[in-house]
Structure 1
Amino acid sequence: MGSIEKTSVACVVAGGGPAGMVLGLLLARSGVEVAVLEKYPDFLRDFRGDTVHASTLNLLDDLGLGDRFAALPQRRERRVTMEFDDGALTEDFSRLPGRHQHIALVPQWDFLNLLAAAGAESPHFHLARHAEVDGLLREGGQVCGVRYTDKDTGLSREVSAPLVVAADGRHSAVRRLLGLRPRASATPHDCLYVRVPRLPGDPDGTFLRFSATGGLIMINRGDYWQAALLIAKGTARDALAHDGEWPRRTIARLAPYTGERMAAIGAGDIASLQIRIDRLARWWAPGALLIGDAAHAMSPIAGVGINLAIQDAVAAARILVPALRRGRVRGRDLAAVQRRRQWPTVLTQMAQRAAQERIVAASITGDDAATAPLRVPQPLRTLRRWRGFPHLFGRVVALGIRPERLTGSLEPLSHG
């Protein structure tokens, strides 16, 4: 066995998703040597979450990347409609503070490539692709780096660092290696995803349809719909039986203009996603911090997962940069990140669970027969009478709870 190549940096970030890339970029621009390890060779994967909310758009402006992001292929939504059997609710983003009165739907690989290119402009940013973390380095009971496999060469490498950050998603390898287990909340549903061609005459915008006979999310991608059909937990295999006849029929019923197009879609064109909401009791161990889905998996409801993870990254950078510059990160520094981000996470997950219980669970019967209509739930039925409610609703969704901004030592360095 050959020798293992060893390097050292101030911080190792496992995971090159939005949270990991933003954290790496912020640390590098603050003069902190950082290595981001991405286990795949590129970002060209079929992501489900491509929603970039106003909180993230504001951050990109702070980083001097707003114009670059605006040049990416994207669709902008100024409002999103939730349709029920007895009426509708609207999330209206047209009165958001700041430059961005919309949310953006952009392919996540384009977003990640933008962040990678911006990071590469700093000599302190190092991105290793096809680098799969498979071990932790420890010293005196504290994590002090990672071991990873270079999947291109098959060689094992080690990177030592005072801090390892796990931003590697809901199936986090670092979390498993630390022996941490999140506590999961019951979720009544999973999703089936399918691309449906979009034709002239189709409705404009993105909408959510909640009915007593089914639940459907239709995301307008320009030339196609990204359709997400809600199904009962653990029923994906049965739902896809008979070449996907049931989801084809259900989508056509909930979105009648797709009827003829659904006939050309088979079970092989339909992907399933298991929905999960969970959260770690403690987001850190000596020498290690977990953020984003590694610390708290979110439901796709309202598309807030990516943006919440990025807010974790901003808070982590702002709190930890002074300690990383000193070369010593203490437990109280890591605990401060959790304290900062925990209650926005808890409140967001509470809202998602309430939506699951009051709306989603009532719309996953898939029963074609006529049933009692699914009404807008209280107290939303009362609140929608208030003229300002759509704007408040939109603000909560687009900005989230406690949005993070750059301050002080995190003011970006020259970016050309």
Structure 2
Amino acid sequence: MTCAIAGGGPAGAMLALLLARTGVEVTLLEKHADFLRDFRGDTIHPSTLRVLDEIGLAGEFLKLPHRKAYEISLVSDTGPMRLASLRELPGPYNYIAFVPQWDFLNLITAEAATYPNFHLKMRAEAYDLIREDGAVRGLRYRDDTGEHELRADLTVAADGRGSVLRERAGLVPEELGAPMDVLWFRMPREDTDPDETFLRVSSGHMMVAINRESYWQLAYVIPKGGFDRLASQGIEALREPVARMLPFLEGRIGQVRSYDDVSMLTVALNRLRRWHRPGFLCIGDAAHAMSPVFGVGINLAVQDAVATANLLAGSLRSGALITDSTLHLLQKRRMPPTRVTQAAQRLVQDRLIRPALKRQFKPPRVRPDLARIPLLNRVTRRFIGLGVRPEHVTVGPVAGRPSHNVDNGVGREDPVEYPRMS
């Protein structure tokens, strides 16, 4: 049996690799010519690092240029405070790795390409579904040579929050609401700048500063739909609050010459009530768009991919019929983590982001070190680091394929046995 996957993001690429290594004939379609798009989610959490470990790619991943963050901090007008520390998570992966997403995707697809049953089509845009006898039997796509049909026993929409195939399947997400959008831009970094990635909050303003070694990746949070109003005030309306919140950038902020140097992310928080039709499945952002809160979007997408491969690889390889009730088992497994994570994101949106943007944020006079509160830190680090119901790869490579030696950078060659969390 065959599988067609639309969308070469984290969900689609990881699912394609996991299926290919089990012997399933799989085709991955990506509408762009490469994966090089700036200002995408780049935070690889311990849950994803463990998946990479389990399939033997942790060593290769850690060879990529990356930066480790062991703590999560907030800086208010009264100073910094720690929100959580990941250092006590079990196993070697007790940090968040900041890696450009294009490097992550190139690694995953390069590994998948070592399997002859994996096919990657770049600049191939899926635009419709093939339906026969009440079921989806593949997809239609266009590339530089024209329009084509790709027939498949299972068609997976991993084409993001604006999923075209989801729309063609008649699946409409339930909107949960987000009070903000995000403006991304970069600034050069100097040796005298702060060292860590952090969240900066002030009354009326909020931003995230991500240390990329040679530059800062900056996310300035604005009220939902507020970009046109901000832009009408000129570029100084962005420069001034950024320089005030991050004074070490004051002499460089002029390098943001206009809003052409800024990329806007329209934040969405939603999920499907139904993830599937006969022969068709949505995963990742196509099934549930996540808020940037906690930076867990990539990791939820990867967890979806792992659960999908675990459930369906055997049937796809053997030719067994994949029923709609089987696809519902996948939704039933992954919906609770989605609901809990989105509920936590909504809580932060309502209690922190919305008040901050409305100038109702009051920094604490005493800056508590929340990481020193044992129970609170334990819950926070597991939620951010591992998520709700982290998945483990239970399907192995096809017989006869050599397995990788696992190298996590700490001199270990055998996979770690992690505590299982249901």
Fold shared per TM-score above 0.5:
yes
Of 86, 94, 99, 2:87 maps to: 94
Deviation at 1:246, TM superposition (A): 1.3
Matched, 1:199 2:186: no
Q: How does 1:208-287 map to 2 (within 5 A)?
A: 208-266=199-257, 267-287=259-279
Match of 2:362 in 1: 373
Q: Bigger shift: 105-114 or 390-399?
A: 390-399
Match of 2:386 in 1: 399
Matched, 1:350 2:332: no
Deviation at 1:183, TM superposition (A): 0.8
Matched, 1:125 2:118: yes
Question: Alignment partner of 2:68: what SS?
Answer: strand
Question: Alignment partner of 2:84: what SS?
Answer: strand
Identify if the C-alpha distance between structure 1 residues 28 and 372 changes in structure 2 by more than 3 Å, giving closer, same or farther.
closer
Q: How does 1:138-177 map to 2 (within 5 A)?
A: 138-150=131-143, 152-153=144-145, 155-177=146-168
Cα distance in 2 between the residues matched to 1:182 and 1:394: 29
Cα distance in 2 between the residues matched to 1:96 and 1:364: 33
Cα distance in 1 between the residues matched to 2:365 and 2:325: 45
Cα distance in 1 between the residues matched to 2:39 and 2:195: 23
Aligned partners of 1:75 and 1:105 also within 8 Å:
yes
Deviation at 1:205, TM superposition (A): 0.8
Cα distance in 2 between the residues matched to 1:120 and 1:300: 31
Question: Alignment partner of 2:56: what SS?
Answer: coil
Cα distance in 1 between the residues matched to 2:313 and 2:361: 56
Match of 2:324 in 1: 331
Moved runs in structure 1, 4+ residues, more than 4 A?
380-385, 408-413
Deviation at 1:94, TM superposition (A): 1.1
Look up the equivalent residue of 2:377 and give its one-letter code.
P
Cα RMSD, aligned residues only: 2.1
Look up the equivalent residue of 1:405 and give its one-letter code.
H
Identify if the C-alpha distance between structure 1 residues 410 and 83 changes in structure 2 by more than 3 Å, giving closer, same or farther.
farther
Q: How does 1:33-44 map to 2 (within 5 A)?
A: 33-44=25-36
Deviation at 1:410, TM superposition (A): 6.5
Unaligned segments of structure 1, at least 5 residues: 1-8
Aligned partners of 1:83 and 1:209 also within 8 Å:
yes
Match of 2:409 in 1: none
Match of 1:4 in 2: none
Match of 2:289 in 1: 297
Aligned partners of 1:58 and 1:98 also within 8 Å:
no
Cα distance in 1 between the residues matched to 2:16 and 2:340: 27
TM-score by length of 1: 0.91
Look up the equivalent residue of 2:190 and give its one-letter code.
L
Matched, 1:115 2:102: no
Of 2, 5, 10, 1:18 maps to: 10
Identify if the C-alpha distance between structure 1 residues 259 and 57 changes in structure 2 by more than 3 Å, giving closer, same or farther.
same
Look up the equivalent residue of 2:230 and give its one-letter code.
A
Question: Alignment partner of 1:121: what SS?
Answer: coil
Of 81, 93, 101, 2:73 maps to: 81
| Identity level (%) | 45
The count of corresponding residues between Structure 1 and Structure 2 is 400
Aligned partners of 1:94 and 1:391 also within 8 Å:
no
Deviations 1:324-349 (A, max 9, x none): 12432101110000011000000000
Deviation at 1:224, TM superposition (A): 1.1
Identify if the C-alpha distance between structure 1 residues 115 and 382 changes in structure 2 by more than 3 Å, giving closer, same or farther.
closer
Question: Alignment partner of 1:180: what SS?
Answer: coil
Q: Bigger shift: 104-113 or 86-95?
A: 86-95
Unaligned segments of structure 2, at least 5 residues: 405-422
TM-score by length of 2: 0.90
Look up the equivalent residue of 1:189 and give its one-letter code.
M
Deviation at 1:383, TM superposition (A): 6.2
Look up the equivalent residue of 1:414 and give its one-letter code.
P
Deviation at 1:353, TM superposition (A): 0.3
Matched, 1:137 2:162: no
Q: Bigger shift: 93-102 or 311-320?
A: 93-102
Cα distance in 2 between the residues matched to 1:180 and 1:381: 45
Cα distance in 1 between the residues matched to 2:274 and 2:398: 29
Deviations 1:65-117 (A, max 9, x none): 11111111111111121234566233211111122121111111111111111
Matched, 1:184 2:175: yes
